[in-house]
Amino acid sequence: MDLGIAGKWALVCGASKGLGYGCAQALVREGVNVVINARSAEALEQAATRLIAESANKTSASGQKGASPQVLAVAADITTSEGRAAVFSVAGGPGRDFDIVVTNAGGPPTGDFRDWNRDAWIKAVDANMLTPIELIQATVDGMAARGFGRIVNITSSAVKAPIDILGLSNGARSGLTGFVAGVSRSKIAASGVTINNLLPGKFDTDRLAATVTAAASKAGKSVQDVRSAQQAQIPAGRYGTAEEFGAICAFLCSVHAGYMTGQNVLADGGAYPGTF
């Protein structure tokens, strides 16, 4: 299926690895120009190199003439005003005129809410609620003026089914979810702009590997035992992959998803047991 977004510009945050990289990869495969962002310059440059190679291979395989999709890397902390300014001013980029924005921030630390002070809460809210809102605010009116825009916020399945040790994430991301529920249904919806949230369950990423290792150490079990036990609880019988997560994201960014807005799309292999 042609997603109809070739030649458009996308900003993908947290794109050096994991789910963010999966989203950038899927968009590049559709011919989208991407500005990828993450804090680690080295990891981001490695990701950009892989994406550029993928872009060239796609163009060669399809026999298309013309330039391959552009891949620009901006190593910066997107949660700061300076980081956002760097993304919007990168040479060769579209400025603020992105057609697609994928917001993505690393999850706050786990723990007991009794141990979190005000600074911990402010940091979580800033990264997982306010930063996506800042990016939406900076780009959404331009999208509406041009008659096309797709914003996808990568949140968490814990928004749907809160987990006690993820209180910082539960709170901050639920705040973003409430904001999106309102703004996505404002007048921008009639201007070709959609805003949706993509909620990952357990995907086989570095973050999951770290949490599994910690859980195994705490329980005195092997990493493989913990992985097997977790996957057995998922109806699909396995963890998800970053590549298939990216494919879902790319569809939400496509011309075919223009009638979907304000939705929380849960990708968890069936782990959530509810009807709604």
Token pair of 81 as six digits: 């005003």
Side chain identity at residue 219, one-letter code: A
| Same domain, yes or no: 175 and 252 | yes
Q: What is the pLDDT at residue 40? A: 94
Q: What is the pLDDT at residue 66? A: 64
63: left (phi over 0), alpha (psi -120 to 50) or beta: left
Instruction: Provide φ and ψ at 115, rounded to 5°.
Output: -95, -5
| Same domain, yes or no: 231 and 161 | no
Strand 264-267 with 193-200, pairing:
parallel
| Same domain, yes or no: 150 and 234 | no
Q: For residue 260, tell me if it sits in a domain.
A: yes
| Same domain, yes or no: 80 and 187 | yes
The 10 Å CB-count burial string (b at 16+, else e) for 203-214 is: bbbeebeebbee
| Same domain, yes or no: 182 and 142 | yes
Q: Which domain holds residue 225?
A: 203-239
How far apart CA 33 and CA 100 sit, in angstroms, is 10
Q: For residue 14, tell me if it sits in a domain.
A: yes
Q: For residue 271, tell me if it sits in a domain.
A: no
Q: Residue 164 is part of a domain; what is its CATH number? A: 3.40.50.720
| Same domain, yes or no: 216 and 231 | yes
Q: For residue 276, tell me if it sits in a domain.
A: no
Walking along the chain (276 residues) 10 residues at a time, the average pLDDT comes out as: 97 97 98 97 97 83 74 97 98 98 88 90 94 98 98 94 86 95 98 98 92 88 96 98 98 98 98 92
Return the DSSP state at 240.
Answer: B
| Same domain, yes or no: 133 and 225 | no
Q: For residue 70, tell me if it sits in a domain.
A: yes
Q: For residue 274, tell me if it sits in a domain.
A: no
- State the DSSP string of 205-220: SHHHHHHHHHHHHHHT
Q: What is the pLDDT at residue 163? A: 80
Strand 71-75 with 33-38, pairing:
parallel
**Number of structural domains, the chain?**
2
| Same domain, yes or no: 173 and 234 | no
| Same domain, yes or no: 162 and 226 | no
| Same domain, yes or no: 155 and 194 | yes
Token pair of 121 as six digits: 């809460």
Q: For residue 3, tell me if it sits in a domain.
A: no
How far apart CA 16 and CA 179 sit, in angstroms, is 27
| Same domain, yes or no: 254 and 220 | no
Q: For residue 25, tell me if it sits in a domain.
A: yes
Q: Using a CB cutoff of 8 Å and minimum separation of 24, what contacts does 81-84 make?
A: 83/37, 84/131, 84/134, 84/135, 84/138
Residue listed under structure tokens 């780009």: 139
| Same domain, yes or no: 63 and 155 | yes
